[in-house]
Structures are given as C-alpha cells and as structure tokens.
Amino acid sequence: MTRRASFFNSALKLYSAVTSRTRALVQQQASWTITRVSEPSDRVEERNGRFATPRPPGLLVWVHAANEREASDITWITPKLAEAMGESVALVTTLSVGDGDEFSVPAPFDTNSAVTGFLEHWRPDVGVIVGGDYRPALLATAARRGVPLISINAHVREDGAPVRVQEAVVESCTKHFKTTLDQDGSIQSAIENNALRSTIQRSPAIVEGYAVPPANETDREALSSLLATRPVWCAIGVSRAEIEPLAIAHAHASKHTHRALLIVQPAQLEITDQLQHTMQRRSWSVARRSLGEEPEVDTQVYITDTQGEEGLWHRLASVSFLGNSLAAPGGGVSPFPAAALGSVVLHGPHVSNHADRYDRLARAGAARLVLTGEGLGSEVRRYFQPDLAATAAQAAWSEISIGAEEADRFVETMCSFLEAVEAT
C-alpha cells in the first residue's frame, strides 16, 4: 500500500468514525438551523431521514447538488428523459432549501441513520450527483443498496479542507460511480488508482438550457393573422408596482410607432382591474382575454389575464419585458422561455431569483437592464428595429443552446442505466 493510499484510508476511517458518532451534533445543527435561518422543523425531520411525503410511483431519478443553481443544470433535462423513458420523476436534494419548480427535499445529514432513512423511503432507481458535493456516507450507502450512481459536472470542490483530505474523499466516493464526467480534470488528477481513473471521462460541463415552451398553434395562427405586421411587445409577470412604469413605457414606445401593441400578463389576477383602469386613463383601447376579447386593429393594450400561455405571447412579441423586477424586493421571472423563443429580454434590477440566468444572457448580449418606465420604453422602441431584435434573439438562442450535445449524451447514458434497472 502506498503512503498516499494509507493516508486516504486513515482519513476516511476518521471521517466514518466522526459521522457515526455525531447524533448529538446533528441535533445541535438542526436546532441552530431552525433558530438562525428559520428552517421549519419538518425540514429538519427530513434531513434526519424521516419523511411525510410518500414516494411517487414509477421510475425515480434522484438528483443531488450543493444548491438549486447546480441542480438546475440537470433538472431542465428531465422532460427529455421522461419523453425518452416514459413515466419518470425527478427528486432533487440540495444542501439549501429553496422553492424551485422541481420536486425537492433537503439533502439528509451525512450520518448512517439519516441516509438510510432517506434511501429506504425514496428508493431511487438511479442517482445523479451534480458538481463536487461528494457525501461519503450517502454515496457508500446508496452503492451498497444497488443504486446506480453517475457523477456529472464533477470537480474537486474547494471547501477549505486540506487538499489531501479533499483528495481522500474524492477517491473514496468516485469508486461508487458507474461513470464520472470530469468537467475540468481535477477529479482525474486527484486519483492514483488506474482502474478507477478508467471510469472517468473529461466532458464539458452541462449547463442549464431550456426546452421551448408550448403554445396552442391554432391560437398562434389566429392571433398572428390579426396582428399582421404590427410591432408587438409583451410584459410578463407584471406586479402592482410596475403598472404605472409600464404605462409610461408603452406611451414612450408608441410615440413614434402608433400601431404598437402591448400584451401584458399580470403577476396576480387580482390586479387586473387596476391594470385596465390605468391603461384606459390614457385613452387607450384595452381588450381582455378572459372576457373572450381579441386584439382588434385599434387595440393598444391586450391584457392576458389567463395562466399558462406565456409561450404564446413570447412567440408573438419581438420584445419581452419580464416583470417583478423593477421594484424591490422583486425577484424576477425566468428569462429562458422568452430567450428560447427569440424574444428580446428586458428586465429591471431586482432579479435575484434568477440572477445567474440573467447574467448569462447579459454577457451574451441577449438581455438588457432597464431602471425606469422611460428607460423601458426607449429599449422597446430600439428593439422594434428588426435587425437589432434579430441579433439579440440569435445571441439568446446560442447561449441557452450551450451544452445541448452534452445534454443529449447524458440522456442516452441515463436511458441505458434505467433500461438496465427495469430489466432487473
């Protein structure tokens, strides 16, 4: 046994000894979590491997990451996986508890009892570990229970621990993976065992993309015919505080484009009347979709007080303002649906819920920040120029298409694993 291997074994024995004797520390950590960051007590129960929510039927794909941002690099692919494999469910575990769209629970504490409770309850058919959050007890127990494990976007995580300890954890955990997709070569560099190195592949990181949102094709054709060559922009998820700035923006945008149409979807249906009255006070012709009205030739504002049709509005509008972003605290809405459909993305400064997505699009020249109603109107009028809109739309599509090839390869790998599971 080499000196390095001996060190690895000693470090991992120490880790195992510590984690097997940390029940009191776990309870102390749970108490700290509740009192300091207000994590509900039922979440702490889940971290200890006790769940009230039943396991859903069918194949269950377990995705684990340090946070929802890392998890989102993979969870956007799950519709592709479901299409390829039929009925399947993605269960997401992260160290932090958020309010993402996916079916998610907090990651269990890395103790034998907690991870056993987690695995016995959810019984995952396959596990996908995203990034560098390797948890030895969780992965070892999952492997012993026969759960096929894949590591993607893998890298040695810098968490302040000594390098040799990090390498010990990486080597111990990597042996549990059927495949490791190493995004930067750091995993392979940390491992001496040649047999283990053969399971590692260098692969570009899979980054979050977006499946094109659907739309009713009959409605799209009918509305496209009604609108013909009119300049159209839309505002999605508009909050109460954004109603007046939105009216200012439309007045500014339509000042030199008299046939311009604003399609606006309020964030809450209860503000629809206020939205309508604000627009009508400017002597604009307003139509409401919930009343069965259509945007006629003289309609200047079309209020889409319905849900689930964002894909339709982004298809019709060359420019999209994404709301809940101009006024604090905001938070924003995801820019990817608009970007995926070739609509220029405009937004305010308060987009903390999707900051990484906006940053990606901004760096690509596919999203623009606005601060006021006047500024929004100026940008809308600017992007009514077809050549500018086309350039921004192409940049948006190119950005969210990054990693598509790696994503398709990942789906193929997952399908192979799940087919093997179903065959047993």
In this predicted structure, what is the pLDDT of residue 13?
Answer: 52
In this predicted structure, what is the pLDDT of residue 31?
Answer: 38
The stretch 69-80 carries a mean pLDDT of 77
The stretch 60-77 carries a mean pLDDT of 82
Contact (CB, 8 A) for 397 and 339: yes
In this predicted structure, what is the pLDDT of residue 118?
Answer: 97
The stretch 299-309 carries a mean pLDDT of 94
Q: Please, which pLDDT band fits residue 278 given cuts at 50, 70 and 90?
A: very high
In this predicted structure, what is the pLDDT of residue 424?
Answer: 66
> CA separation (Å) from 222 to 225, 229, 309, 316?
5, 13, 15, 11
Residue labelled with tokens 């046939």: 259
pLDDT > 80? residue 22: no
Q: Say what the pTM is.
A: 0.69
In this predicted structure, what is the pLDDT of residue 280?
Answer: 97
> CA separation (Å) from 349 to 103, 150, 360?
29, 37, 15
In this predicted structure, what is the pLDDT of residue 155?
Answer: 87
pLDDT > 60? residue 17: no
User: 122: burial class by Cβ within 10 Å (0-12, 13-18, 19+)?
Assistant: buried
In this predicted structure, what is the pLDDT of residue 113?
Answer: 95
DSSP 1-25: --HHHHHHHHHHHHHHHHHHT-HHH
Q: What whole-number percentage of the chain has pLDDT above 90?
A: 52
In this predicted structure, what is the pLDDT of residue 228?
Answer: 87
The stretch 112-140 carries a mean pLDDT of 94
The stretch 403-418 carries a mean pLDDT of 75
- Per-residue pLDDT tens digits for 194-217: 888 888 988 877 777 777 788 999
Q: Please, which pLDDT band fits residue 29 given cuts at 50, 70 and 90?
A: very low
The stretch 119-125 carries a mean pLDDT of 95
pLDDT > 70? residue 1: no
pLDDT higher at 313 or 169: 313
In this predicted structure, what is the pLDDT of residue 383?
Answer: 96
The stretch 416-422 carries a mean pLDDT of 71
In this predicted structure, what is the pLDDT of residue 36?
Answer: 39
- Per-residue pLDDT tens digits for 229-255: 899 999 999 999 999 999 999 999 998
- Per-residue pLDDT tens digits for 162-182: 777 777 888 889 999 998 989
pLDDT higher at 95 or 115: 115
pLDDT higher at 33 or 404: 404
In this predicted structure, what is the pLDDT of residue 160?
Answer: 64
Of 286, 292, 242, 288, which is closest to residue 267 (Cα–Cα)?
A: 242
What's the chain's average pLDDT? 85
The stretch 13-39 carries a mean pLDDT of 44
Q: Identify the DSSP state of 202.
A: E
pLDDT > 70? residue 403: no
The stretch 137-146 carries a mean pLDDT of 95
List, in order of start, the domains of the chain with CATH numbers.
3-10+56-209+405-423 (3.40.50.11720), 217-400 (3.40.50.2000)
The stretch 335-359 carries a mean pLDDT of 92
pLDDT higher at 155 or 266: 266
pLDDT > 80? residue 380: yes
In this predicted structure, what is the pLDDT of residue 18?
Answer: 45
Of 110, 67, 103, 54, which is closest to residue 82 (Cα–Cα)?
A: 103
Contacts of 65 (CB under 8 A, 6+ apart): 71, 73, 74, 92, 93, 94, 129, 130, 131, 133
The stretch 125-137 carries a mean pLDDT of 91
In this predicted structure, what is the pLDDT of residue 414?
Answer: 77
